[in-house]
């Protein structure tokens, strides 16, 4: 792999050795793909939408930080 970036490599690779799970899960909620953060009581909080449809980003339920209803 060759990384081509103007960023300092020390900054990019900081913590590579002791890297752990990011805590994000990739889920598909009613046809919309997104990354969610699972919390201890089983709820899922929207972290980042992965949809390409710009209208999905206008839906109030998919605002990052919102808890998903199952």
Partner 1 sequence: MPEYRSYDEEPGVFPYSPDIDPEPSVEPDYPHNPGEDPHHPGDDNPRNPRRVHGKARGGVESIKEFGATQLPEVKSNIHCITIVGQVEGHLVLPPQNKTTKYEHVIPQLVAIEQANEIEGMLVILNTVGGDVEAGLAIAEMITSLSKPTVSIVLGGGHSIGVPIAVATDYSFIADTASMTIHPIRLNGLVIGVPQTYEYLDKMQDRVVNFVTSHARISSAVFRELMFRTGDLARDIGTVLIGKDAVEKGLIDEVGGVSQAVARLKQMIDEKKGKGVPLQ
Residue 1 sits in the site that holds partner 1 (CB under 8 A): yes
Does residue number 65 form part of the binding site for partner 1 (CB under 8 A)?
Answer: no
Could you say whether residue 54 binds partner 1 (CB under 8 A)?
yes
Helices (H), 9-54: 9-12
Q: What tokens appear for 25 in the block?
A: 């899960």
Query: Tokens at residue 10, please?
Result: 């020390």
> Does the protein bind partner 1 through residue 70 (CB under 8 A)?
no
Binder among 40, 58, 65, 70 for partner 1 (CB under 8 A): 58
63 lies in the binding site for partner 1 (CB under 8 A): no
- For the bound state, the minimum distance from the C-beta of residue 7 to partner 1, rounded and expressed in Å, comes to 5
**Separation in Å, CA 66 to CA 16, 44, 49, 62, 69:** 30, 8, 12, 7, 9
């Amino acid at each position: 792999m060759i990384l081509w970036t103007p960023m300092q490599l020390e900054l990019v690779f900081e913590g590579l050795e002791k890297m752990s799970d990011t805590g994000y899960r990739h889920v598909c909620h009613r046809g919309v793909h997104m990354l969610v953060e699972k919390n201890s009581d089983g709820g899922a909080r929207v972290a980042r939408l992965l949809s390409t449809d710009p209208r999905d980003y206008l839906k109030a339920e998919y605002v990052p930080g919102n808890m998903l209803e199952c």
